Each structure stands twice: as C-alpha cells, then as structure tokens.
C-alpha cells in the first residue's frame, strides 16, 4: 500500500518531496531505475518499526485524477497516442533493467511536476524481476490457467 503526499524538508533551499509508504522491494526497484527519464528519483528511504518510507521526487497529478478533475470519461485519440508513445519508452527502460511493471493503469501514469512535461511511470511496488542479471536470461513463467471441468 502506498500513498503520496508532499512535505517541506531541509533548512536552506527548501524543496518539495513526496513521502510514500512502500517496501524494501520498491526501494530496490527505484534504485535499479535511478537516472532513467520517466521515473521518480528516490531521494532516500528509512524504516520505522515495520513501516518502510520512501522519499521521492514529487510528480504532478495522475492521468486518472486529471480525468476525474475535468469530469472527462475519455481522452482524445491524439492524447492517447501521445501517452502510448511515452509509455512504450518507459516500459522499454523498465524491461532493460530486468523488470515488468504488472500494474499499468491511469493511476500509475503521472504528469511531470511542475511543468506538465513528460509522463512518469509510478506505482513501482508491483514490478517483478524477470531477468537474471548474471546470465541475461528471462525468468518469466507461463501463467497457469484454470481448466473448467
């Protein structure tokens, strides 16, 4: 479970950060993606009891929240194609680091903050590692399907 909020930190040159309840796995994913465009920067992390907190670069609103805010039920074809173009680049970067996202939806696509620039792929608690870095071999399994009798 994660949620995003903003707080001020530091003494001089205050900057906005997002504090998110996450997991050690999520921190490791952010660390593996560090420096790639289209992903939040993880500025730090800490444990407090059983809770794991991530300090992230803030993003703008998600596509889902923008649709709700503007009372829109859909996007134009042009907008969808522009989003897909950016999403393909983000997924290629994620896959190049050996992860699959596992949760692509409008709530996991956020507009860059504060300029409304490129889309960020967020919600990195779901990604699973699918490649062995030492051998470069995929570890995906064929999903099991239920057979009705």
Q: What CATH code is carried by the domain that includes residue 57?
A: 1.10.510.10
Residue 107 lies in a domain: yes
In a domain, 144, yes or no: no
Q: What is the pLDDT of residue 143?
A: 47
Angle at 126 between CA 99 and CA 81, to 5 degrees: 75
Residue 22 lies in a domain: yes
- In contact, 112 and 59? CB cutoff 8 Å: yes
**Quick one: which H or E segment has residue 100?**
strand 99-100
* Percentage of residues in the chain having pLDDT higher than 90: 26
Which residues span the domain enclosing 108?
Answer: 4-133
Alpha-carbon distance of 93 to 100, in angstroms, equals 10
Tally of CB atoms within 10 A around 45 = 19
**Residue 131's pLDDT is what?**
62
Whether 17 is covered by a domain: the verdict is yes
Name the more confident of 135 and 47: 47
User: Is 121 contained in some domain?
Assistant: yes
**Within a domain: 149:** no
Lowest mean pLDDT among 6-15, 43-52, 60-69: 6-15
- Name the residue with tokens 């860059």: 112
Q: Tell me, yes or no, whether 103 lies in a domain.
A: yes
The band of 84, judged by pLDDT with boundaries at 50, 70 and 90, is: very high
pLDDT at 68 over 80: yes
Q: Quote the distance between the C-alpha of residue 93 and its chain's center.
A: 12
What is the count of structural domains for the chain?
1
Does residue 53 fall inside a structural domain?
yes
Tokens standing for 80? 């969808």
Question: Are 64 and 36 in contact, with CB atoms under 8 Å apart?
Answer: no
| Bridge partners, 19 (sequence order) | 5, 55
């Amino acid at each position: 479970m994660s949620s995003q909020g903003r707080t001020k930190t530091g003494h001089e040159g205050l900057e906005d950060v997002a504090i998110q309840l996450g997991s050690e796995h999520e921190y490791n994913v952010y660390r593996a993606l560090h420096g790639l465009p289209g992903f939040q920067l993880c500025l730090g992390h800490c444990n407090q009891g059983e809770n794991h907190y991530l300090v992230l670069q803030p993003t703008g609103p998600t596509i889902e929240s923008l649709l709700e805010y503007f009372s829109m039920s859909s996007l134009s074809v042009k907008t969808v194609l522009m989003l897909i173009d950016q999403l393909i680049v983000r997924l290629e970067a994620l896959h190049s680091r050996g992860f699959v996202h596992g949760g692509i939806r409008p709530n996991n696509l956020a507009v860059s903050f504060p300029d409304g620039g490129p889309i960020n792929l967020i919600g990195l608690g779901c990604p699973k590692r699918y490649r062995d870095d030492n051998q470069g071999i995929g570890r995906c399994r064929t999903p099991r399907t239920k057979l009705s009798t």
